[in-house]
Amino acid sequence: MAEIILHHYPMSPFAEKVRIALGLKNLAWRSVEIPMIMPKPDLMPLTGGYRRTPVMQIGADIYCDTQIILRELQRRFPALPLTPAGHEGVAEALAYWADRTLFWPAVGVVMAVIGDQLPEEFHKDRAAFSGRPPDPARLKAMAPVARDQLYASLTHVERMLDDGRAFLLGGQPSLADVAVYNPVWFVLQRLGARTPPLTSLPGIVAWAERMGRFGHGQPTAMAAAEALDIAERAEPDAPAGVDESDPSGLKAGARVSVTPDDTGKVPVSGELVTLSATEIVLRRSDERVGTVAVHFPRAGFILAPAG
Ligand SMILES: N[C@@H](CCC(=O)N[C@@H](CS)C(=O)NCC(=O)O)C(=O)O
């Protein structure tokens, strides 16, 4: 099988969610470092416009968003399952909550402290990314709100750990753990454990230490050009196909676009080759990499016929 290639940068918390999952599964992978802000000229030929971090590549199959990246890792490497049997829905739902709700107050806590040390280009880029004007002073003013919201949300997780369990859903780590680890890691990494509200959440801090011990598996660096060459030489995997009873009524071969519904709302266009409740796959061509299959999760993405 082609190697796992992760396009990411070290300080990305969503990339850490995937890196720690690669550690849990003890996998070998190749690491391509991408810029923290646009432009990302060596990523665009692979994704067709999707700009968020991280992106996983396996040959000519490109996986956008950590939801689909983790599902694919689970499918290809089923040992040490990330979704414990009988608890798949709970693990997925907790992960979605962590990605879309818990993440933001954690960003608020960190940015209130480090925001004004970051360059103007970073703030401009993240303003375009989020659709909100750049405003480091507002980030500082919102610090108490972010702290309190993170406290309220993480207290639910602290309570889950109160009975002495090692991980959120029991004795083994799962998708729920790697997803909650993402924002907790971000605060710990940037500000340390003496940061409120972590000072009031000792169970979370101890759990995060346990999570961190899984490490990142075995990464080795790869140049971006090599990753593009690999995509160019490879053929995408055979598509799973379009579910005939999908409520959208879309059929295989339709020209469609896929756009994140929250941040980095850049549409990617192509030919629909797979559609299910959990996955959208487009086939598209690029002059640098030839034909690639770009995979997205269904949740959190807008699928529309392309004009
Ligand atoms: N829902 C996405 C969120 C990814 C995300 O927001 N990543 C941040 C970095 S942690 C990002 O893309 N920031 C802008 C950038 O890297 O260009 C996922 O699960 O992958």
pLDDT digits (tens, 9 = 90+) for 91-149: 999 999 999 999 999 999 999 999 999 999 999 999 999 999 888 899 999 999 999 99
* Residue keyed to tokens 């992106």: 55
Pair of tokens at residue 152:
């309220």
Residues making up the chain, counted from first to last: 307
This prediction's pTM: 0.98
Pair of tokens at residue 120:
């103007």
Nearest-atom index, ligand 1, CA of 126 = 14
Residue 273 · residue 252 · CB < 8 Å: yes
How remote is the CA of residue 56 from the centroid of ligand 1, in Å?
Answer: 13
Mean pLDDT of the chain: 97
Q: Dump the DSSP string for 167-219.
A: BTTBSS--HHHHHHHHHHHHHHHHH-TTSTTGGG-HHHHHHHHHHHTTTT-EE
- Taking CA atoms only, the protein residue closest to ligand 1 atom 8 is 53
Q: Name which CATH class applies to 88-212.
A: mainly alpha
Helices 88-97 and 175-191 cross at an angle (nearest 10°) of 30
Domain-by-domain residue ranges, the chain? 4-80+219-305, 88-212
Decide yes or no: CATH 3.40.30.110 for domain 4-80+219-305. yes
d(CA 292, CA 282) in angstroms, rounded, equals 8
- Taking CA atoms only, the protein residue closest to ligand 1 atom 12 is 52
Nearest-atom index, ligand 1, CA of 54 = 20
d(CA 246, CA 155) in angstroms, rounded, equals 38
pLDDT digits (tens, 9 = 90+) for 240-296: 999 999 999 999 999 999 999 999 999 999 999 999 999 999 999 999 999 999 999
